[in-house]
Structure 1
């Protein structure tokens, strides 16, 4: 027998004997069911009927009030591109007293973007190689308020 195999076998034996000495006992209940029958109220009978009610996914409730034109154009450009995973989400927040729009990044190491009400890029609060964005609005996640989902890719 090779030394490494002998060591592995002897180690396993030590572990098993240690576990047995702890007084662990496993028992199987042998009492009869409360009702005296296995198919009584304690155990439901199987059914062939579908127990799941399938419903269509409800579309998310988006805030469509007063979407700026530039944002509608941005949404249309996303819809013209192939579907991304995870899907793009756009939120409206209050940040430093102003309404801003936050667009999530499509995937890893990409910047998410914060736009002002006129569509100008303010900053990239997260994403990139470090995950901390571009550093121009490091306090965005702490100071943003009044979150409202404006749009998410429905595809």
Structure 2
């Protein structure tokens, strides 16, 4: 029983050492060909840096127009607190003919908040143990329009 295992291990070691000793070179399309020219024109070297950056922008584009004072104070409150995961964000909507601000709060059964333009709490559309909020505005998700991101915790 030990002999086949020993033979298999020795064979694997020999195979790996052979594979590792092979020289592998990688050429990119912008390298000049080794033998002069290939069929047609050579691929030219890039003339400028990449213009596409696939990383997310470090700062999001927030709508800072006409933020009520109570909302600016609320943002400062969040910045003074430890960062939550997921990050707190505030979005402006139109709901039942008025401007409202929807505030998401961190994780795990916390209520989201919906404020009117004067900063009065209207309801908790989501969160809690059921995930359905406090039941005071069950149609918010269906009837909200005009979504505009106002602020997301950048930390």
Q: How does 1:12-23 map to 2 (within 5 A)?
A: none
**Mind listing any 5+ residue stretches in structure 1 that lack a counterpart?**
1-38
Q: Are residues 55 and 106 of structure 1, via their aligned partners in 2, closer, same or farther at CA, if it must alter by over 3 Å?
A: closer
Q: Which runs of 5+ in 2 are unaligned?
A: 1-23, 29-49
Is the contact made by 2:84 and 2:105 (CA closer than 8 Å) also made in structure 1? no
CA distance in 1, matches of 2:129, 2:138: 15
Secondary structure of the 1:154 match is coil
Specify the alignment match of 1:106 in structure 2: 106
TM-score, length-normalised on structure 1?
Answer: 0.65
Q: What's the offset of the Cα at 1:101? A: 0.1
Cα shift readout 1:21-70 (whole Å, capped 9, x = no counterpart): xxxxxxxxxxxxxxxxxx8xxxx9267xxx9x786833100000000000
Change (3 A) 1:65 1:132: same
Classify the secondary structure of the residue corresponding to 1:90: strand
From the superposition, tell whether residues 134 and 61 of structure 1 become closer, same or farther in structure 2 (CA, over 3 Å). same
Alpha-carbon RMSD: 2.4
How many residue pairs match? The answer is 110
Aligned to 1:146: 146
Q: Which consecutive segments of 4 or more residues in structure 1 shift more than 3 A?
A: 53-58
Q: Against the structure 1 CA distance between its residues 56 and 113, is the aligned structure 2 distance closer, same or farther, given a 3 Å change threshold?
A: closer
